[in-house]
């Protein structure tokens, strides 16, 4: 054992000792608060007849204050208990240019300062000085502090793995984050949820996480680039940096489904922050529309496309996802504004009230919704009339003006106005509700038209930061709605090559056109899948910009079988191998929800313990899951089985996207089964018959 290792182990033990001492002191203080609180309660009970109202109020306030202080101490204790298991993961020694001495900094998930001596033992990974660990090799370095840029030299950089208070290894590094550490982290079996990545944040990722200037940041990241994790770490950084002005309750995440929301739900608590509220696009739409209009969900739209391959439906979706469609709605709203008000002259007390007075007032109040606008026009015209003639109108005369203003407004229902829009643009065939339900592609255009013509109540006005995941699945109209609802800062992320519905997909360039002042960054390095799996996936959907991490594993298998029974037997064999391995998660990804349901039933009848994920599923778990690539998007698994990638099953461009998404969910092993002739998207040379 080297001298450096001995010193680091002693330092770790000293740190653990100080954490234990602080935990002990906190425990004693909590006990003191509990005794004082109990004593105060006892005193209030015993002296209740002698205490007046003010005495009781003062005593309750005192008890409340003690309880709050006790809760703060308990929160500190929980934080220290977590820190004790792994106090830090890195160290660097920095010599400032304006000082002769070199200081050692240890970096962890949380900061830890000894309460007695105020000595800093661990620095939070989000602290300004901690950026040195992520951004520089040994040699000249600098970091931005509140007082300005601090230059100097990084003279030592070291990484640790500490588990359950024991140092597994220590490694001196001269580059950003050594590949050995990253490779080791990536090769481990998956957890039941997304992991924090504070120990392995790369330089380009760190720049995105610490960007506090961009109003709207668009992150285009390839499959497995860690974009969602980076976005969540960015939220954690912003909560740390702006803790006096923003809290977890001020942030909102728009996530694709509840399973994904559950999957990412542990990241922020692991980083010491509270869970951030999340919502789906359909829920957001229902809240704005007040539940008055029934509509298809995105899941239903995608499922219908996969099951029917309806060419007309594809064209309707494609047309409503075009930037031109957004401009057409804007023009139609202006048209409705022009014809909505038909002014006429009114006579009150034998005095003329010209129609242009009503018209001018109507135009001045366009910031109000229609109902408020009508009332405001009547009141404003009454005020003008009384001021002009120096008289006070009687109640019935005011009613005449108000009724006249109301009668000048041409009103129609929102749904009828939206339906007439398609006649106005000469494409009535694009509007085709089914069974009283709007198609999903119509929901946000309808909301956008309502915003432009009537206005909407905004329940999200207080949100200070919006995070939108799977950005490619939202259309320009949806981004126009989000831009009006959320004036706050935004982090938008996704991958243009992973759209499950290419007919309604948005590119980063299209999003930038809608969200003014957006700044785009690109992540091209993929970390999730082995080199072999990623090369296999790239043959399905080529992306010359993607850089695969050279972490090696088994070649993906393509097993060609004759019948569905043979496919089921092969799946069961793969599951048996999975059960005998150290891996903890396996996903069987069928193309459609109907296929997933049938397969799950067959596996259950064969005695296989597997969970079926559906549109209404709310939680992510390990073990064996059966679902579709659509629901698996954003998730990752140790192993993935595609139960039928035959030419019959995967034939369209939409199918190609789904097949690519399915393959890139696998971290370590991928098995592709085809019943009959393999899909033309598959690398044929790997097929085994």
187 vs 291, higher pLDDT: 291
With 80 as the cut, is the pLDDT of residue 387 above it?
A: yes
Q: Residues with Cβ < 8 Å from 371, sequence gap 6 or more?
A: none
With 90 as the cut, is the pLDDT of residue 479 above it?
A: yes
pLDDT computed for residue 77 by the predictor: 92
pLDDT digits (tens, 9 = 90+) for 333-351: 999 988 888 999 999 988 9
pLDDT digits (tens, 9 = 90+) for 210-267: 999 999 999 999 999 999 999 999 999 999 999 999 999 999 999 988 888 888 888 8
pLDDT digits (tens, 9 = 90+) for 626-652: 999 999 998 999 999 999 999 999 999
Distance of CA 537 to the CA centre of its chain: 25
Averaged over 32-52, what is the pLDDT? 87
Nearest to 672 by CA among 650, 644, 648: 644
Sheet holding 637-642, edge to edge: 611-612, 623-627, 585-589, 637-642, 666-675, 557-561, 687-688
Averaged over 9-16, what is the pLDDT? 96
Query: Rounded to whole angstroms, how far apart are CA atoms 336 and 425?
Result: 13
| pLDDT grade for 686, boundaries at 50, 70 and 90 | very low
Query: Are 356 and 324 within 8 A, CB to CB?
Result: no
Could you tell me the pTM of the whole model?
0.87
Instruction: Express as a percent the part of the chain with pLDDT over 90.
Output: 73
pLDDT digits (tens, 9 = 90+) for 54-94: 888 888 999 999 999 999 999 899 989 999 999 999 999 99
- Eight-state DSSP code of residue 496: G
Burial 126-158 (b: 16+ CB within 10 A, else e): bbbbbbbbbbbebeebbbeeeeeebebbbebbb
Query: Are 260 and 469 within 8 A, CB to CB?
Result: yes
| pLDDT grade for 270, boundaries at 50, 70 and 90 | confident
| pLDDT grade for 425, boundaries at 50, 70 and 90 | very high
pLDDT digits (tens, 9 = 90+) for 538-558: 999 999 999 999 899 999 999
Give the lowest-confidence range in 1-10, 169-178, 262-271, 672-681: 169-178
pLDDT computed for residue 175 by the predictor: 47
pLDDT computed for residue 183 by the predictor: 61
pLDDT computed for residue 180 by the predictor: 58
Query: β-pairing, 102-108 with 90-96?
Result: antiparallel
Burial 222-239 (b: 16+ CB within 10 A, else e): bbbbbbbbbbbbbbbbbb
Averaged over 548-574, what is the pLDDT? 95
Mean predicted lDDT score pLDDT of the chain = 91
Averaged over 601-612, what is the pLDDT? 93
Q: For the chain, first and last CA: distance in Å?
A: 53
Nearest to 171 by CA among 162, 158, 182, 181: 158
pLDDT computed for residue 619 by the predictor: 81
Longest distance between any two alpha carbons in the chain, whole Å: 106
Query: Rounded to whole angstroms, how far apart are CA atoms 469 and 458?
Result: 21
User: Nearest 5 degrees, angle CA 673-CA 675-CA 679?
Assistant: 75
Q: Residues with Cβ < 8 Å from 363, sequence gap 6 or more?
A: none
pLDDT computed for residue 666 by the predictor: 97
pLDDT computed for residue 640 by the predictor: 98
Averaged over 159-188, what is the pLDDT? 74
Distance of CA 52 to the CA centre of its chain: 53
pLDDT computed for residue 428 by the predictor: 96
pLDDT computed for residue 265 by the predictor: 87
pLDDT digits (tens, 9 = 90+) for 451-475: 998 888 899 999 999 999 999 999 9
| pLDDT grade for 2, boundaries at 50, 70 and 90 | low
Query: Rounded to whole angstroms, how far apart are CA atoms 550 and 532?
Result: 9
Helix segments in 520-652, DSSP class H: 531-540, 564-579, 593-605, 629-632
pLDDT computed for residue 46 by the predictor: 86
Residue 347: burial class (beta carbons within 10 Å; 0-12, 13-18, 19+): exposed
Task: State the DSSP H helix or E strand holding residue 585, giving kind and residue range, or none if neither.
Answer: strand 585-589
| pLDDT grade for 281, boundaries at 50, 70 and 90 | very high
Averaged over 610-624, what is the pLDDT? 88
Give the lowest-confidence range in 135-139, 187-191, 401-405, 641-645: 187-191
Nearest to 111 by CA among 121, 101, 96: 121
Structure tokens at 641: 């089985």
With 90 as the cut, is the pLDDT of residue 685 above it?
A: no
């Amino acid at each position: 054992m080297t001298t450096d290792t001995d010193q680091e182990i002693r330092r770790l033990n000293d740190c653990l000792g100080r954490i234990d001492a602080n935990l002990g002191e906190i425990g004693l203080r909590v006990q003191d608060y509990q005794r004082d609180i109990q004593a105060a309660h006892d005193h209030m009970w015993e002296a209740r007849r002698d205490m007046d109202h003010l005495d009781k109020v003062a005593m309750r306030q005192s008890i409340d204050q003690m309880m709050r202080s006790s809760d703060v101490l308990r929160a500190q204790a929980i934080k220290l208990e977590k820190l004790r298991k792994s106090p830090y993961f890195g160290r660097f020694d920095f010599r400032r240019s304006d000082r002769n001495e070199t200081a050692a900094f240890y970096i962890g998930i949380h900061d830890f300062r000894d309460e007695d001596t105020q000595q800093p033992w661990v620095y939070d990974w989000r602290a300004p000085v901690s950026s040195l660990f992520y951004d520089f090799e040994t040699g000249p370095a600098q970091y931005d502090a509140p007082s300005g840029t601090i230059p100097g030299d990084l003279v030592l950089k070291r990484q640790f793995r500490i588990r359950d208070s024991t140092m597994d290894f220590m490694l001196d590094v001269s580059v950003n984050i050594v590949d050995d550490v990253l490779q080791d982290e990536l090769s481990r079996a998956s957890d039941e949820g997304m992991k924090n990545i504070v120990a392995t944040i790369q330089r380009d990722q760190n720049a995105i996480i610490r960007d506090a200037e961009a109003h709207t940041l668009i992150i285009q990241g390839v499959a497995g680039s860690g974009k969602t994790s980076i976005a969540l770490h960015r939220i954690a950084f912003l909560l740390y940096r702006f803790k006096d002005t923003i809290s977890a309750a001020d942030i909102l995440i728009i996530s694709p489904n509840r399973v994904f929301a559950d999957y990412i739900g542990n990241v922020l608590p692991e980083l010491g922050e509270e869970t951030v509220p999340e919502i789906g696009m359909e829920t957001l739409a229902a809240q704005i529309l007040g539940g008055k209009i029934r509509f298809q969900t995105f899941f239903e739209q995608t499922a219908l496309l996969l099951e029917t391959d309806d060419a007309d439906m594809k064209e309707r979706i494609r047309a409503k996802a075009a930037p031109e469609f957004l401009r057409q709605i804007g023009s139609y709203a202006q048209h409705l504004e022009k014809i909505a008000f038909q002014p006429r002259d009114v006579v009150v007390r034998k005095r003329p009230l010209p129609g242009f007075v009503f018209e001018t007032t109507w135009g001045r109040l366009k910031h109000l919704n229609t109902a408020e606008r009508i009332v405001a026009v009547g009141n404003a015209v009454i005020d003008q009339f009384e001021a002009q003639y120096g008289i006070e109108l009687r109640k019935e005369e005011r009613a005449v003006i108000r009724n006249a203003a109301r009668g000048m407004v041409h009103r129609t229902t929102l749904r009828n106005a939206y339906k007439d829009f398609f006649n106005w643009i000469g494409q009535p065939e694009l509007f085709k509700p089914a069974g009283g339900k709007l198609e999903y592609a119509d929901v946000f255009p309808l909301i956008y038209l309502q915003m432009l013509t009537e206005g909407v109540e905004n329940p999200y006005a207080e949100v200070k930061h919006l995070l939108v995941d799977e950005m490619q699945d939202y259309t320009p109209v949806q981004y126009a709605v989000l831009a009006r609802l959320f004036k706050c800062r935004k982090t938008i992320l996704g991958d243009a090559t992973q759209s499950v519905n290419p007919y309604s997909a948005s590119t980063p360039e299209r999003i930038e056109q809608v969200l003014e002042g957006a700044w785009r960054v690109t992540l091209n390095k993929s970390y999730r899948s082995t080199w072999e799996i990623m090369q296999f996936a790239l043959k399905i959907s080529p992306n010359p910009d993607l850089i695969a991490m050279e972490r090696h594993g088994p070649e993906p298998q393509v097993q060609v079988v004759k019948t569905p029974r043979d496919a089921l037997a092969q799946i069961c064999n793969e599951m048996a191998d999975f059960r005998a391995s150290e891996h903890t998660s396996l996903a069987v990804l069928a193309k459609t929800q109907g296929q997933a349901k049938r397969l799950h039933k067959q596996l259950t009848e064969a005695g296989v313990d597997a969970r079926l994920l559906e549109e209404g599923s709310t939680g992510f778990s390990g073990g064996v899951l059966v679902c579709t690539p659509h629901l698996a998007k954003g998730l990752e698994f140790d192993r993935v089985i595609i139960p039928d990638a035959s030419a019959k099953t995967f034939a369209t461009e939409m199918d190609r996207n789904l097949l690519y998404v399915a393959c890139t969910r696998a971290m370590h092993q991928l098995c592709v089964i085809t019943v009959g002739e393999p899909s033309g998207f598959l690398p044929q040379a790997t097929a085994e018959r």
